[in-house]
Structure 1
Amino acid sequence: ATPETEYGRMNIGSRPSKRKPSGGIESLRAIPWIFAWTQTRFHLPVWLGFGCAFKHILKKDIRNFHMLQEMYNEWPFFRVTIDLVEMVFAKGNPGIAALYDRLLVSEGLQPLGEKLRANYEETQKLLLQVAGHKDLLEGDPYLKQRLRLRDAYITTMNVCQAYTLKRIRDPDYHVALRPHLSKEV
C-alpha cells in the first residue's frame, strides 16, 4: 500500500531504488522504502518490533515494567530512542494507513493490514506506559502543537495521493506520455 514502486520509476535519487531491478524485497534500498512507508503515515520500519520486544520482556517478569521505566528515566540513550519512536507515532495516522490499504491492497491482504494496525495501537500504548506519558509528545508541547497545525494539510495530501495511486494503478487507466523529467533539469 506504499508508493515505493512509483518512486522507483521517478528516478529522483542518486542511486536506483533497487539494487537489482528484477529483485524482490531483498534488493530494496532503505531510503526509498522507508520514505514510501512515511508517505502512508504508518512508519512501519520504525516501530515494528518495539511492541513485541516490550511484551517479551514483560512476559518474562512483570517487574521488568519498572525496570523499563527506570531505564527511560535514567539512561539518556534509551530515553532518546523511546522519545524518537514516540515522535514517529505522533506523526503517524493508522486511519490514513487504512485508507491506503482499502484503496490499494487486495482483499486477501486486508487482514494483514488490520493486524498491523492493531499492533501499532498496542505498541503505542506500551511506549506511552514506559515513558510514563498519557498522551503522545506530552514532554514536547511545542512539537505537539507544530504537528497538530500541519496535520490537516498533510492528511489532505495523503488522501489525494492514495486516490491518485489507485487511479494510476488501474490497468484501464492510460496517460499520454510526457517528456522525461530528470534530476538534471
Structure 2
Amino acid sequence: AFLGEPGAKRKEAIALLQKMYRHWPFFRALLSNMDMVLAKSDLSLAARYADLVPDGKLRKKVFAMIEAEWHRTHEALGRITGAELRLANNRALARSIEHRFPYIDPLHHLQVELISRYRAGSQEEKVKRGIHISINGIAAGLRNTG
C-alpha cells in the first residue's frame, strides 16, 4: 500500500525509496536482487505453468493477480532506481541471462508437459525422473537453487 498512496503521499513515498536506494547499501542490494529476478522472469512461460491449473476461473484470477503484481513491481523498481531497462547497471549479467534463455526455455516446456502427464496419472519412473532433471536443469541455467 506504500506506493499505492494517492498524489502527494505517493510522491513522498517514492522520494523516500529513491533516497534509501542512493544511500543505504542494504536496500540497494535488495533492489539489485529484485532486478535480477525480474530479468530472469518470463510471464509467457509462467502462463504455460498456469495452464496446468484445471480450474479455468481460478487460473485466470490468480494469474491476473501475478501479472498485475509483476507489472507494478517492474514499474516501481524503475521509478525508484531510475532504470527502466532491467539490469541496466549490470549489462554483463543481463547478456549472460539472455544467452541462457534459448537453452532453458525448452526445459520449461518439457517440464510443463511432464507435470501434465504426471497429474494425468502417469506413474512412469521416466516422467518423475524427467521432472526432477528439468528442475535441476532450470535451476542450473538460471543459476539459482532448485
The alignment's TM-score, normalised by the length of structure 1, stands at 0.61
More relative contact order, 1 or 2 (CA 8 Å, 6+ apart)? 1
Q: Letter of the 1:90 partner, please give it.
A: A
Q: C-alpha displacement at 1:124, in angstroms?
A: 1.2
The SS at the match of 2:65 is: helix
Q: C-alpha displacement at 1:174, in angstroms?
A: 4.5
Q: Letter of the 2:63 partner, please give it.
A: G
Q: 2:19 aligns with which of 59, 70, 77?
A: 70
2:133 is matched with which residue?
A: none
Percent sequence identity is: 25
- Residue 61 and residue 114 in structure 1: after superposition, are their counterparts in 2 closer, same or farther (change >3 A)? closer
1:101 is matched with which residue?
A: 50
The SS at the match of 2:3 is: helix
1:148 is matched with which residue?
A: 98
Structure 2 residue 55 is the aligned partner of structure 1 residue 119: no
Give me the whole-angstrom Cα distance separating, in 2, the residues matched to 1:86 and 1:61.
Answer: 21
Q: Which 5+ residue runs of structure 1 have no aligned equivalent?
A: 1-51, 178-185
Query: In the TM superposition, what whole-angstrom CA distance separates every residue of 1:73-105 from its partner, at most 9, and x where no partner exists?
Result: 111111111111111111111111111011344
More helix by share: 2
4+ aligned runs moved over 4 Å, structure 1: 56-59
1:86 is matched with which residue?
A: 35
Give yes or no for contact 2:3–2:10 (8 Å, CA) kept in 1. Answer: no
Q: CA RMSD in A?
A: 2.2
Aligned residues: 125
Give yes or no for contact 2:2–2:13 (8 Å, CA) kept in 1. Answer: no
